[in-house]
Each structure stands twice: as C-alpha cells, then as structure tokens.
Structure 1
Amino acid sequence: MKKSILFTFLFIQILANAQFYERNLSSEKWSFKNAKENKWLTASVPGTVHIDLMKNNIIPDPFKDENEKKVQWIENEDWDYQTTFSISQKELNNKNIDLVFLGLDTFSEIYLNGKFIQTTDNMFRKWTIPVKDFLQAGENNLQVRFKSSVNVGKELAEKVPFTMPESPRSFVRKAQYHFGWDWGPRLVTAGIWKDVKLNFWNNAKFQNIAIEQENLNSKKAELKIYTEIVADESGKYSISINGKSQNISLKSGLNLISIPYQINNPKLWQPNGWGNPNLYDLKITLQKNKRNIDEKSEKIGLRTVELIQKKDEQGKSFYFKVNGKPMYAKGTNWIPGDSFSPRMTKEKYQNLIKDCKEANMNMIRVWGGGIYEDNEFYKACDENGILVWQDFMFAGSFYPADEKFQKNVELEVKDQIERIQNHPSLALWCGNNEIDEAIVNWGYQKQFKYSKEDSLQVWKDYKTIFHEIIPKAIKKYATTDKQIYWESSPSIGWGHKESLTEGDSHYWGVWWGEQPFEIYNEKVPRFASEYGFQGMPTLEATKSMFSGNPELDLQNGIIKAHEKHSRGWEIIENYMKRDCIVPKDFVKYNYVSQLLQARGMQIAIEAHRRAKPYNMGTLYWQLNDCWPVVSWSSIDYLGSWKALYYKVKRSFENQVIFTEEKDDVLAFYAINDNSEKFQDLSLDIDIIKFNGEKHGSAGTADSETLEPNSILKFPFSLEEIIGDAEKNEIFLHVTLKDKKDEKIIAETNYFFAKPKDLKLPKPNIQIKKISSTEIEISTDVLAKDVYLIGNTHFSDNFFNLLPGASRRIKLSKPLEKIEVISLWDTMN
C-alpha cells in the first residue's frame, strides 16, 4: 500500500473513532493583501504582515541598513488575510466544531464563508468561536480583516479628555515594544501571529485544567486537579489521571470537577544551583462508555515558593523562599527575542534559557512591555530550574480603565493564567513595569498640563486596573499556590530613599542619572529587579546590520541608527572617558564598549551579593535583543555572548569571593549560595606585579567555616596588604581553599586602579591548537581581559590570563583563524 493511501486511510479511521480532534489550519495556503488593493499575495501563518511583505519582496528587511524608516507606512494600513480549506461530510457530522485563534494581532473582523462571526481587540487573548453552523461540506473560505492598531488607538485616545503619554500604544492591547523602545525599532505589526485550529468534539471536552499543590512534604505530595469540562451531552463519564480512574456525572454546559491526586516520596523541583528540576508527567483522560473522548497532558514540578516581606530595623525584607529555604535570586530581565515573534524558534528559546542555566542564574523576569511568552519559553524554564517573575503586559505609560477595557484585561489575564500557571517555574505575577513610578516621578502631568481632576483620574484608573481588576482575576482563575501578586515593578521609584529599604528596585542612577559605576556600592536595595548599562553587540552582530559589505565606523549612519537611545552614544562615550582609554579603531572601541558594560554590571552584582541577606536578589537589565542593536543586552540578537555575559557567569557562581576597598580597609567576602558546608578554610592572597613578579602575600586564620547560604567577611588594612606597592602596577590573586586537599572553592583577581590607569606590559599571547574545537592560550605577563575574536562560541572569553599561566578553551565550531587582543592593545 502506498504511504499516501495508507495515511488517508488511517486519518479517516481516526475521524471515525475520535470524539475530539483538531486540525491546524495554519498549514493551509494563506494569502494576504492591503485592504485598499485587490491583489492577493502569499502569506505565512503564524506570521506578521512585515514578514509576508519581506517574503514577497515588497519591503526591505527592516533590521538592515536604515530600512526601519522605509517601512513605517505599514502601521497605518489595514490588512486582509484569507485561506480556503476543505471540510468532509464526516467532519461536518461532529456535534461541535470550534474555530480557535491562539493569537490575532490585534483589531480584526473574522468572516467565514462571507458571514461575519467575531471581532477581536486583544493580541494576548485566545479566541474560540463555535462555527458548525457556518461551515459547509467541501470548500470553505476564512477571512481575517485587520484594522491598523495605530489608527484604532488614536480613535480610542480621542475619547479621553486629556493627553495620555505614549499615546496611542496604551490604548491598544498588543505588545507595547512594537511601538518602539530605547533598544528596539518601531515596527507596529498586524497578522495571525499564532496558530489557527479547528476543534471537532462530541459529548464533552476539557476546557481548562489547573493543578493545585495542597500539601507537600518528604513523604507525599497532595494535589488537586481542577478540570473545567464542557458537556454537550449530560450523563455518566469517567476521568482518569495516569490510569487511575473515577466516575463522574456531567450536566449539559460547563462543569467544574476537582479530583485529588497523590504522589508518594516526591522529588522536588529545585532551582538551578540547588539540585535537579524534577518533573512529573500527568496524563488526564476523559471517557464515556470506556471510550476516550478527550485527553490532556501536563508536566508539573513539586515545589513551594513564598515571597517574604517582614519589617526589620532597616525597612522591610523582600526575598523568595523556595522549598522552605531563602533563595538569593540571580538572574536577568527578558525582552521578546525578535520584533517579529513568530520567527522565534523552539531552538532559540531553549538556547537562551540554557545560557541562563550555564551562567548560574535561577530567576528571569519577563518584562511587561513585550509578550506573554511562548509555551516553549516556560517549558525551557521548567527544565532548567529558572524561576519566572511574570509581568503582565503593561509598561511605562498611563492606561485607561473604562468598562470595556477592564473586561478585556480580565479576559486577557484569565487566558494567560490558564495557559501558564501549571508551570513550576512560575514564581510571581507582577501587574506592570514602571507605571506606578511613571505616575509619581516622570512628570507627565506637568508636561501635558493636566488639571487636578485629570491627575486624580489617572491614579484612579491605575488603582482600578492594578489593584482591583488584575488581583481579583488572579484570585478567581489561579490556584491558591500560584497567587503571589506584586502590583508594580518597581514598587518605589529610584529617587526615593524607601526604594533601597523595601520592595523591589529599578536603580537607574547609573546610565539615566549618569552617576559613576561606584555608586552601586552605596545604592544597594533589598531586591534589584532592574538596572543596567549599554554596550555594543559582537562584531558579527554589528556586521549583520548591513545588507551589503559592512563599513565598521562609529560615524557610519547605519551603526548610529542601530542605537535607539537618543543620547546612547554620548553616554557610553562619557563613561568610557571616565574609566578607559577611548580607542579610535572600531574593533577596539567595540571591545572596550563591551568591557565597560561588563565592568559596571560586575560592580553592581558584587555590591548586591556582598550585602546578603539585606539584599536577596539581583536581576540585571537585560538578557537578550529583538534585533541587531547597541543595547543593555548581555547576549546579542545572533545569540552571541557579550563580555558582560562571561563576567556575569563568574559573578553568579554559587561560591565566590568579592573584594571591597573602603576607608583604607580591604575586605574579602566569601559567599556560599547553596546547601554545601565548607570547613577548615584558608584564604590566600598573592600580591603580583603585572610582569609576574610576586610582591608579597597574606593569609587568614585557618579555622573558618563557610555555612550553607551564608557569607564570611575577611577585613584587612589596605596598607597591610599592599605596603609601598604602586596600585597601578599590581593586582591581587585571591583563593579560598580547603586546607585538607588544597581544593580551590573560589578565586578572584582584584585590581586597584581603573582600566585607563593600569601600567600594563605588552603580553606575548600564544595560541596552541589542541584539536579542531579546542585551543590552549598562554602568556608571559599579565594579559588583562583577553578577547578571542571569531565567529564561534568560546567556552570562556574576556578573561584575565595570569603571568606564565595557560588556559584551555573549547569552540562550538572549528575556526581556521582566531584573532586575540587584550586591554594592552587599546592603550598603545
């Protein structure tokens, strides 16, 4: 029998026997057109209008050159999408047929066989439409007509008696970054950005499954499986969980059924660095007359998460307790990985989250100006032990709160809770990004000349959405173990004293306030959920900005256009002059820019971790990019690690040594973030000249113990350590060892002077090929911040290579040639 005939036969058999099945209409042939025109062009679903216009060679790639300017007309047009699909009589005989859009961007009217069936007004909602009565055996036509989000947003804005900042984006329930940000282009999309499905069902179907963890201890986990079942036919049914079945009765309509379920001797889901993120598979089956009529699979993890806020002498704590133990949160902020979300692949999601794991992170914040991420994102976080701080998609503006908007938000929250909440990685729901701060601190009311009544209305609307609608929806739709809610991040703006003594903090005194990096040592909050500094992307990402041969010059208009902050270049230059020698060569400037960014974030992270347990979390801004750009990211658009990411990986290790120089005292902090205990330690401090000569050494007492989840401080007088040595000619090599076996638990290097003041000798750096994907690099004198250049991923980079030392580095793919520079090359 031919394969095609066999497939058709099997498919018919499935239809004959199934009570619930679905067809993915995304794979049908779709076309699109400008609503003003008659010519239909080939389209992709899932997709966006920009992707389709590019594929049809109507617009250039907006990521290349200065093409972003050339495609702005798209946002003001209306766009139509359509497909035809065939329905068999056997399919049409099903009692119920639902058309399901998992994501429509944003304002649309839907027509089936020429008949209007639904309007949509929210990119983040799922739209389920009963369509049996609109379908016919044979060919069917489905059309989605999108209205311009910009034009509709303007119409909505006109109904408000005062000017809203960032208008019209705050009136439009779509990804806010589409309207442009200080790291992203303005590309206001439209289209069918998620799958379209036809669901056929009879008798009954699962509408939602929520899993609540009621009790958890070492002997058992007691769960409650909540199922929403829509029944077309009342009667006796049965439901089984992993083969354990029980009888239920269903009435016609919506039924809420809860079933207890127990797991003996449970293995906990642990955050990265604490153990394995153990997961359990649950298969939930609905049956009638011993015949499967619907089935769902869930992968869960057993863990507890609490947000602890207790008053103390310094203010109020803010930390996460996971599985009964305080967890120091180490991580970053996530923005969408592409301006065109449908282009994000499962592989890219997995790679970015695996990078988080490799960099010793345990938490990631999904920023509120993007999207509720794809299921693959949360799956990757589950599998890699990364807890998720989940913002709702509101950011940096004022938002309306009329009755229609309230209902739209509630249903958006419902859809996302039902989709996300079963993931063990979910730690916290947060109402928004920086809206409380925007209202209180950003001066919009003065800028737009608000009356007192206008200002009161803004605050009233804010309270309605973020203190009433969203928390009530969470309480209504989320299980009790997934209801941690935080109204706004940050809770208090960075200009206020309380922002450092309670809640979470976005400290932007560095960059926006143009304070020196060293201010991080003073401005230490209870939980740092956002802070950052810009750096250039890798050379490969910079070259990808060009459609032709790249002209690597800081004055090149294309490179300048890929910096979206109005003063970005100026601020980077000012900071660079403070700390570094500013190179004229582009490659060296790119390198120093990355080092500068890494230096600032290293100072911040070390200040935060040294302050443990006062500070219990540091999430820097930001992990990734949505296009090739100069930004705050630590991994560029191509997935390459910038200098910052290599430094972060070292700074986030579970056992570290950090150094603080203050008031003629040099203090060393040994930090332990996991449950392992270290005894009989010695701290060895070597004072080394850049040329390799040893200047001296000092040591600590031999009986120190580093307890689990704790910190040790070793203070010395500065004079005792360095004596008469010149600070710009020496560095410290510090190691924390187990005295018994001389095993190094942690080590670090400390430099006393800024990079521009160091008197570095010229290193003779040698690279020896070990294999096609491994090299050994060595030097005679100190080689500071060694930068290996090549289109591959190096297992380590931007590292200090000590005099006379060597290091082996693995490559993700072979390279014929590897270039290498160090800080010395930028100073001579």
Structure 2
Amino acid sequence: MNKILLFAFLFIQNILFGQFSERNLSSEKWQFKNAKENSWMTATVPGTVHLDLMNNKIIPDPYKDENEKKVQWIENEDWDYQTTFKVSKKELQSQNIELVFNGLDTFSEIYLNGKLLKKTDNMFRKWEIPVKEYLNAGDNLLQIKFKSAVNVGKKLAKKVPFIMPESPRSFVRKAQYQFGWDWGPRLVTAGIWKDVKLNFWDNAKLGNIKIEQKSVTKQKAELNIETEIFAKKKGKYAVLINNQSNNFQFKKGKNTIQIPYTINNPKLWQPNGWGDPNLYDIKISLQKDSKIIDDKTERIGLRTIELIQEKDAKGKSFYFKVNGNPMYAKGANWIPADSFSPRITKEKYQKLIKDSKESNMNMIRIWGGGIYEDDEFYKACDENGILVWQDFMFAGSFYPSDEAFLNNVKEEVKDQVNRLQNHASIALWCGNNEIDEAIVNWGYQKQFKYSKEDSLQVWKDYKKVFHELIPNTLRENLTADKNIYWPSSPSIGWGHKESLTEGDSHYWGVWWGEQPFEIYNEKVPRFASEYGFQGMPTLETTKSMFSGVPNLSIENGTIKAHEKHARGWEIINSYMKRDYNVPTDFVKYNYVSQLLQARGMQIAIEAHRRAKPYNMGTLYWQLNDCWPVVSWSSIDYLGNWKALHYQIKRSFENQVILTEEKDGDLNFSLVNDGLYTYKDVRLGIQVIKFNGEIIRHQEINFFSKDFESILKSDPVKVQDLLQNLNKNEVYLKLELWTGNNIRLSENHYFFRKPKDLKLTKPNIKIKKISSLQIEISTDVYAKDVYLMGDNHFSDNFFDLFPNDSRIITFSKPMDNFEVISLWDTMNN
C-alpha cells in the first residue's frame, strides 16, 4: 500500500471510529449441532434449526407430504450455534463495544470466548450486551446454546398448582402458533432468528426516539421530538433535526431531551381509499465538535386516530376516527407468512400488503399468536395506507403472572413499542387474542377441575398482565397520541348478546357453530374483528404439498394432513351441500370450495356494511397462510389469490350497492366509504334472463339527498318486479349513477342459491390480445368463470354476461388456457 492510500485508509478509520458504527455478524460462518452430538454443520443466520437441518439434508421439508410429524422430535432437543469472528486492534480502541441480538428463539445461554454473558428467555426481546472487556484482538468465539422451549416450558408449568390449558406454550415467550393451530403445523423452532451485530461507539450515541404530534393545521404541524442520548462523558453536543441545530450540555450516562419541530404546509397521511399516505423523513443527527457521531432517520405520517366508544340507544359504538372523519374499517387478520419466519422476504411482505391495498383494505389486525412483524411489514403498511391493529403476542390460553414473567413481559412490551411507535400505520395496541373469552366461555376450569381459588387466581393473573402491566408500560413509553389500548379481542364472547351491541366481536356461529351463512344477516356486531370460513388453496399450492407427482384426491393422506381442523372436511362438505352441487372431480371440488368460502364472506361483509354506522368495521379471518394448507385465508401460502380475495376486492369497494330480500321485499342500501359526498344519485335496476334478455328496467332516484355515508331505498316488492318470472332463471343488474351520469358502482343479485340456478351451458370465447392480455366473452350468462393456470389474473372467479366482454391481464405470459364456470359443476 503506498503512503497516500495508507494515509487515506487511516484517516477514514479515525473518522469511522470517532462515531457510532456497526458490524453485522450474521454474515460470518456459523455452525450448529445437536447439543448431544459432536459434529458441527453449516448454519444460516438469521435462521432456525429446522431450516438448517433441511439445508444439511438431515430432515425432509415439513411442508411436503406427511413430513410434519417426522420432524417434531426437534422440539425436544437442545441446539448449539457458534461462529468465529475477528476484531482488529483499531476496533478494540473504541470506548464502547456492544453485542446486539435482535432476536433469539428462545431459551439460550450466550458465551463469548468461553465467558457466559447472558441467559435469554424471550423470543421477542432485543438483547444488548457490553463486551469490550471480553473481546480479543484477532479471533473471537461466539456461542449460543439453546434449550428446548418445550422442555423448559414443562418445568415452568410444574410450578403452578393447577393445570394450565395449552401447556407448556403459555409459559414460554415465543410465537404461540409454532405449537400448532387449526391452520398451522406444530413446528417449535429454536435459533438465531434475527440479526446479530457488534456496535462500536466512543463519545455518545442516540437511543430511542419518540416523535409526538402536538397539533396539525393546514398551515403547520407542530411536533415534539424526544430523544435519548447515551454519553460516555459529560460535555457539549449538538442535535440536528433535518439539519436544524440545537445545542446541549449532556451529563455522563443517559440524557433525555425534547426538541420542538415544525413542518409547514403539511400533507396528511390518509388511509387507503381516502387519499395518499404522505410520509416525512425526520433525520436526527448527534454532533460533537462539529462532527456527526451518530444519526438515525424516522419516517412518519401526520394523522390523528381516535377510538370512539359512545353510549347509544342500542349499546356502545366502536369505530376509528381518522383525521377527524369516522372510518369504516375494511380488512383482514394477519398471521405470520411462514412457520419459519426468518425466510419471510421483504418482497413477500410488500406483495401481501400491496395485495391488501389492491383489494381496497384499510386495516390489518396482527393476530396475537404470531410474532411482532419485521420492520418491512410496518414500512409497507405506512406506504400503502393500511392501518394496523397490533395485538401483543398472547393468544387463546391462560398466562402466569409471577414476578419473573411480568418483568419479562414488561421488557418485551418496551422493546416492541419503542421499535414500532413512530409508524403512521399503528392504530391500536391490543392486549391479547381471545383470552378474556377463554377464561369466561371455554370451560377450561371445569375441564381441569379447578377449585374456586384456582379460578380466582386465573382471573387475577389475567388482570395483572392485561389490565395493569401492559397499559401501565404503554403509558410509560408512548406519547399520548400513540397510546390507544384495548385489553382483549374480542371484548365479549360470541355467545353473549352484548357481543353484538358493544366492543369488537369474533363471531364464529358460522363454521364453529355450523350456522348457515344467512345468520350473518342477524348477527351484526359493532365491529367485526374476526369471522371466517375455510376454502382450499389454489391448485398450484395444493400440488406444492407433494414432494413427487401430486395425487389430487381428498382421500389422499397428504391433502388430509394439510387440513389442520379436526372436522374441517366434514364442515366444508355440509356447507357445500347447502349451496352447491358437490363435485366428485378434485379440480372442480377445489374450485367450488373456493366459491363457497367467497360466498360466505360476501354475505357477512354485505350484512356488516348494510348496518353502517351501527357496524363500523369488518376484518375477516384471515388474509394469509404460514404453509400450504386448507384454511380461512384469502391468499394462499404461495401468494395466489383464492376466489375469496377476488371477491374481497369487489366487496370492499368504496361505493357499493347491497341488496337484502326480506318478507317479499327487496331493500337496497347504497354505501359510500369515501370522503367525497355525491348528490342526486339514482339506482338503476334491470331484471335480466340468463340468456341476456332484459325483461324490466326501473330507476330509484335520490334527488337532493347527500350520498355521504349510506342511503336506504324504499322497499321494492319482489312480486311487482318479477311478476310471473321464475326466480332461478333471472338476476338483477344494479347500477348506481350520479346526476351527471358517472357510474359509481355495479352489483348483481340472485334470488336463489347457486345450486338452484337454471344455468345454460355457456360458449366462452377467448381472444388473445397480447402475451399478457386476453378478451373473454360468452353467448349466455356464465357464473363464476375460473381461469386456471400458474399465473396471477387481474380478475378471476367472475360472472360473465352475454353481450359483454372483459379484458384480463396476466402477471406473466401465458398461451394455453383452461376455463370452467359453475355450469360445469352441475354436469359432472
């Protein structure tokens, strides 16, 4: 190296180690082994032991065939991980060096050069350990020894004098779904599931940053930026907010400062369907002697969110007011997008959230049995205008409240709210999923023969965690404008009448209660935060369940193994018989199961939206899958849209026409969820035969009425409309028009269930426009047209009408098409 290059290198090194810097140790050469064995194998960090065993060809893919049970021995073993990394003499000169683990799953011991640094017991916490005194110049050995979470959980369970449901999962702070759910496999993981880093700093570093929105007008937004600074020694420093400098005298140790900041002519962050989700970058820089020694950038959105609960004649309202306007929440529940969460890519997060935006959603609920998602998830929600209902990670069980557990949970809550609070998308923090209901309604106390004292202890434990610890920790760590807390979802179980008059509701009378879909018209809550029905995944995803040539049969062991609900097939079949002909052909059965799921959710959503503003939210169960499975999802594991997701896109449009038939009357509801008010709208109604013949046309005018939220028409007599026509031979075409002839919405209404419609065989024609587009048409009405293929279609499972055509776009070129419609299932 010549003298000039050497000087430049040393100059850069001096600058680098005068400020905060980090090294990612995840990219080092990692090894792992069973703690009982001696031979080491290659490992990947971030990762899990299951993925590492697969990569080393020790186990088969648990997602294939019936392999899940073959790999469950892994959960009972202890696993060791290690790597060797170098530290230079220059790096060792840093005054502070910290080893940072962003996620360890779950019970581990951390050793550096043979020294035990820390024992961990929580998958959801961040672990920062000062290590300068333990490092060597040159090679350093880092070891993490994981204990079986199942075995540790069993030992913890023995300390409680009564049997806890779902033991041992409720005793371990790790992703609860790993222990198996009625849509997911039992794959209890261990490993280094997030990045490992070495941080170097000298004078000072930035800590947690809170950005509070004090006020927003059209002219300016007033913010308060609270920042932690950790100083090695006292002295003068400057903190810059987007290059605006503020001088401070810091003491040694932790300093907390507050700096006002103004944004002129601000643009609001709006939820999807209301406008753009405008975002602002706030760069915070820490300066010493005119040199920047640390900086961070927070991306924020300017918006107000309130949870409104006001008593009324029927109970109590439950809705979100966003930027001063009541918002009808439309969305879904989210589960982890893989049973092995380290392999969820940024691209997968972005795609699932963009698919949610495309289907007109404005809210996603992160269910409490999974994980606090990666930063990329919240970034995608920020960018796409999707609000987040954030559960804490507790679900469907009883939880302890001993001092160690409470302290552990408190640190978990602090870590997560500090990481997430500045995201514009976070709307609400919820204590848990279904634990209040589990205690009150699920009969565990009787099942496990609890004494009166045992039952009282369970309720005391619950109150300590979800009514004291978590809300108190939120108050200590969140600014007031970010702290909306709801203890449990649902607030009241679906067997109680109050679940329909206040709070949020998980209505499971359909599926679990095996009530017909039409019961949704009667059981309408104030806010539906869970309800659902199963459907099969797409054919492509079904085939992916097999390691070899797929054997597509419902009786096949592999397909049975990928239905985790004990009575899943039985329930699907019983509902299918009510509404459809049950096909014997597997491809057609797969198709009809998707239609059945879509039909059920359409009925539910329309019942909810018709009830606006009594009902102000509908979040179905569930958006996505963690493996290839028959489930409640609308998007399957491979990212393919099921029939449900195409229907969701239609059902969640801002303006919709909804029809209810009752006592011989047709009642029409016009719903507007947008911010724009329309005047002088009119509803056009056509009675059309399936051959395309228009039998009757009439209009209902709403002159001089503001179409701001919802309009209801006077009842229309079915007999007057149809006269002597057969209900199973016609449908209604409904169109909503503005006074200046702009069509806002179109919908169709059928008087009979799909199996009872007298359909004629359609002659469906496909005209190729390009390698990515076709035009599709038909001579007679074709119901639920299904384009089959390994592709994403701009529309699918749609009704095609005679004298009309539709342009369909593909995600990738496709030459050969197979098309079926509902008529094909009526003629097996």
TM-score, normalised by the number of residues in structure 1: 0.98
1:820 aligns to 2:819 (yes or no)? yes
Offset of residue 714 of structure 1: 4.5
Write out aligned runs for 1:54-93 (5 A). 54-93=54-93
Letter of the 2:688 counterpart: I
Contact kept? 1:15, 1:90, Cα under 8 Å: no
Write out aligned runs for 1:567-716 (5 A). 567-701=567-701, 703=703, 705-716=705-716
Contact kept? 1:111, 1:144, Cα under 8 Å: yes
Distance across 2 between alignment mates of 1:27 and 1:184 = 30
Contact kept? 1:114, 1:141, Cα under 8 Å: yes
Name the SS for the 1:296 alignment partner. Answer: strand
Distance across 1 between alignment mates of 2:753 and 2:706 = 31
Distance across 2 between alignment mates of 1:146 and 1:654 = 50
Contact kept? 2:656, 2:746, Cα under 8 Å: yes
Q: Report what 2:789 is aligned to.
A: 790
Name the SS for the 1:703 alignment partner. Answer: strand
Name the SS for the 2:701 alignment partner. Answer: coil
Offset of residue 710 of structure 1: 3.4
Distance across 2 between alignment mates of 1:537 and 1:8 = 59
Offset of residue 738 of structure 1: 2.4
Instruction: Assess, with a 3 A threshold, how the Cα gap between structure 1 residues 590 and 11 changes in structure 2: closer, same or farther.
Output: farther
Write out aligned runs for 1:297-308 (5 A). 297-308=297-308
- Unaligned ranges ≥5, structure 1: none
Distance across 2 between alignment mates of 1:713 and 1:385 = 32
Distance across 1 between alignment mates of 2:527 and 2:95 = 54
Instruction: Assess, with a 3 A threshold, how the Cα gap between structure 1 residues 498 and 252 changes in structure 2: closer, same or farther.
Output: same
Distance across 1 between alignment mates of 2:433 and 2:146 = 28
Q: Report what 1:773 is aligned to.
A: 772
1:750 aligns to 2:749 (yes or no)? yes
Deviations 1:437-483 (A, max 9, x none): 00000000000010000000000000000000000000001111111
1:231 aligns to 2:231 (yes or no)? yes
Offset of residue 290 of structure 1: 0.7
Offset of residue 739 of structure 1: 4.1
Distance across 1 between alignment mates of 2:210 and 2:150 = 36
Distance across 2 between alignment mates of 1:670 and 1:799 = 22
Distance across 1 between alignment mates of 2:711 and 2:361 = 19
Name the SS for the 2:45 alignment partner. Answer: coil
Distance across 1 between alignment mates of 2:8 and 2:568 = 59
Letter of the 1:746 counterpart: S
Offset of residue 175 of structure 1: 0.2
Distance across 1 between alignment mates of 2:694 and 2:735 = 15
Name the stretch that deviates more: 799-808 or 311-320: 799-808
Letter of the 1:816 counterpart: D
1:45 aligns to 2:45 (yes or no)? yes
1:112 aligns to 2:109 (yes or no)? no
Offset of residue 713 of structure 1: 3.1
Q: Report what 1:737 is aligned to.
A: 737
Contact kept? 2:17, 2:201, Cα under 8 Å: no
Letter of the 1:228 counterpart: E
Contact kept? 1:175, 1:369, Cα under 8 Å: yes
Instruction: Assess, with a 3 A threshold, how the Cα gap between structure 1 residues 14 and 689 changes in structure 2: closer, same or farther.
Output: farther
Offset of residue 662 of structure 1: 0.8
Write out aligned runs for 1:491-502 (5 A). 491-502=491-502
Write out aligned runs for 1:212-251 (5 A). 212-251=212-251
Contact kept? 1:682, 1:704, Cα under 8 Å: no
1:508 aligns to 2:508 (yes or no)? yes
Letter of the 1:72 counterpart: Q
Q: Report what 2:289 is aligned to.
A: 289
Distance across 2 between alignment mates of 1:619 and 1:763 = 36
Q: Report what 2:529 is aligned to.
A: 529
Q: Report what 1:150 is aligned to.
A: 150
Distance across 2 between alignment mates of 1:658 and 1:681 = 15
Name the SS for the 1:650 alignment partner. Answer: helix
Contact kept? 1:669, 1:714, Cα under 8 Å: no
Contact kept? 2:17, 2:94, Cα under 8 Å: no
Instruction: Assess, with a 3 A threshold, how the Cα gap between structure 1 residues 587 and 409 changes in structure 2: closer, same or farther.
Output: same
Offset of residue 816 of structure 1: 2.0
Offset of residue 217 of structure 1: 1.5
1:353 aligns to 2:359 (yes or no)? no
Q: CA RMSD in A?
A: 1.4
Instruction: Assess, with a 3 A threshold, how the Cα gap between structure 1 residues 685 and 158 changes in structure 2: closer, same or farther.
Output: same
Letter of the 1:225 counterpart: I
Q: Report what 1:189 is aligned to.
A: 189
Contact kept? 1:706, 1:712, Cα under 8 Å: no
Letter of the 2:119 counterpart: T
Q: Report what 1:342 is aligned to.
A: 342
Offset of residue 679 of structure 1: 2.2
Offset of residue 702 of structure 1: 5.9
Letter of the 1:125 counterpart: R
Distance across 2 between alignment mates of 1:728 and 1:11 = 83
Name the stretch that deviates more: 676-685 or 99-108: 676-685
Distance across 1 between alignment mates of 2:708 and 2:32 = 60
Name the SS for the 1:470 alignment partner. Answer: helix
Distance across 1 between alignment mates of 2:713 and 2:411 = 51
Distance across 2 between alignment mates of 1:29 and 1:261 = 45
Distance across 2 between alignment mates of 1:505 and 1:820 = 39
Distance across 2 between alignment mates of 1:580 and 1:337 = 31
Contact kept? 2:396, 2:438, Cα under 8 Å: yes
Offset of residue 720 of structure 1: 1.8
Write out aligned runs for 1:265-344 (5 A). 265-344=265-344
Q: Report what 1:810 is aligned to.
A: 809
Deviations 1:711-747 (A, max 9, x none): 343421111221111111110001111243x321111
- Unaligned ranges ≥5, structure 2: none
Name the % identity: 73
Offset of residue 805 of structure 1: 1.4
Contact kept? 1:697, 1:721, Cα under 8 Å: no
Contact kept? 1:395, 1:432, Cα under 8 Å: yes
TM-score, normalised by the number of residues in structure 2: 0.98
Write out aligned runs for 1:432-447 (5 A). 432-447=432-447
Deviations 1:257-297 (A, max 9, x none): 11111111110000000000000011100011111111000
Letter of the 2:645 counterpart: Y
Name the stretch that deviates more: 637-646 or 800-809: 800-809
Letter of the 1:814 counterpart: P
Instruction: Assess, with a 3 A threshold, how the Cα gap between structure 1 residues 11 and 172 changes in structure 2: closer, same or farther.
Output: farther
Offset of residue 691 of structure 1: 1.5
Letter of the 2:99 counterpart: L
Distance across 2 between alignment mates of 1:594 and 1:667 = 28
Offset of residue 661 of structure 1: 0.5
Contact kept? 2:532, 2:632, Cα under 8 Å: yes
Deviations 1:302-357 (A, max 9, x none): 00000000000000000000000000000000000000000000000000000111
Name the SS for the 1:417 alignment partner. Answer: helix
Offset of residue 708 of structure 1: 2.5
Q: Report what 1:165 is aligned to.
A: 165
Distance across 2 between alignment mates of 1:676 and 1:348 = 33
Q: Report what 2:763 is aligned to.
A: 764
Name the SS for the 1:97 alignment partner. Answer: strand
1:557 aligns to 2:527 (yes or no)? no
Contact kept? 1:579, 1:754, Cα under 8 Å: yes
Letter of the 2:452 counterpart: K
Contact kept? 1:734, 1:747, Cα under 8 Å: yes
Deviations 1:177-200 (A, max 9, x none): 000000000000000000000000
Distance across 1 between alignment mates of 2:744 and 2:130 = 62
Offset of residue 709 of structure 1: 3.1
Contact kept? 1:672, 1:706, Cα under 8 Å: no
Letter of the 2:742 counterpart: K
Letter of the 1:127 counterpart: W
Deviations 1:402-427 (A, max 9, x none): 00000000000000000000000000
Contact kept? 1:698, 1:721, Cα under 8 Å: no
Distance across 2 between alignment mates of 1:750 and 1:139 = 72
Distance across 1 between alignment mates of 2:590 and 2:125 = 42
Distance across 2 between alignment mates of 1:482 and 1:709 = 28
Name the SS for the 2:399 alignment partner. Answer: coil
Name the SS for the 2:661 alignment partner. Answer: strand
Offset of residue 9 of structure 1: 4.0
